[in-house]
Amino acid sequence: MRFKDKTALVIGGNSGIGLSTARGLSEEGAKVYITGRNPETLAAAEQEVPGLRAFQADMADIKSLQPVLDVIREETGRIDSLFVNAGIGTFIGVRDVTPEIWDQVHNVNLRGAFFTTQSALQLMGKGGSIVITGSIGSKLGMPGNVIYSSAKAGLRAMARILAVELVQEGIRVNVVSPGPIETPLINRNVGMDPAEVDGLRQQMISGVPMKRMGEPEEVARAALFLGSDDASFITGVDLYVDGGTLEL
């Protein structure tokens, strides 16, 4: 019960890693709020996780987060644990990148992540924890991954600065960086059809020493550790959950 009597907000908590983390937070005693874009999966999450409150919001639309912040302010008055998880992906060759696709990904994965975190800080204080979902793509030179990887590299730098600035306020900031994980995100790569997605999946598996995709729960356990008081002397780290891809 590491999160007993605490309030948690999971951005992008309606599927995959975010939903697994929201479920874990609830099981360990937190009052959990989530956001997401899909009303059907949001409703399903509310049915699945006891006490969870779900709100429709798009991380690319900064103002869409305010309603859930207003509710949290009224109901609990604070956010103890913030998990910034929402994101989109794309695989596209350098010569085929367009400003429109670049902006679509960066508006969520980098710009949206920063301003979402900034907005949530109005309800955070000493003892608070922020965990941001990064990616091993921030370090891995993978062909076709220039847009996503550059956004995640920027996100890693952003988290480092947040950690430095917020440590004096007693707020910890850490990153959990998944490798290839079997989540709905892999099926939402901009411009890729199902056959191309399956080819990408097989390519990813071939580069993992454990020779499999990871599961959302395996990343959620790392996020829960970083967000809990078990990690009370840890800030500014990037924890890889990648089956050994970067290390071996």
**Phi then psi dihedrals of residue 9, to 5 deg:** -125, 125
From the candidates 13, 148, 174, 186, which is the catalytic residue? 148
How many other C-beta atoms are found inside a 10 Å radius of the C-beta of residue 231? 19
Question: Would residue 240 show up in a list of annotated catalytic residues for this protein?
Answer: no
Which residues have a catalytic role annotated?
Answer: 148
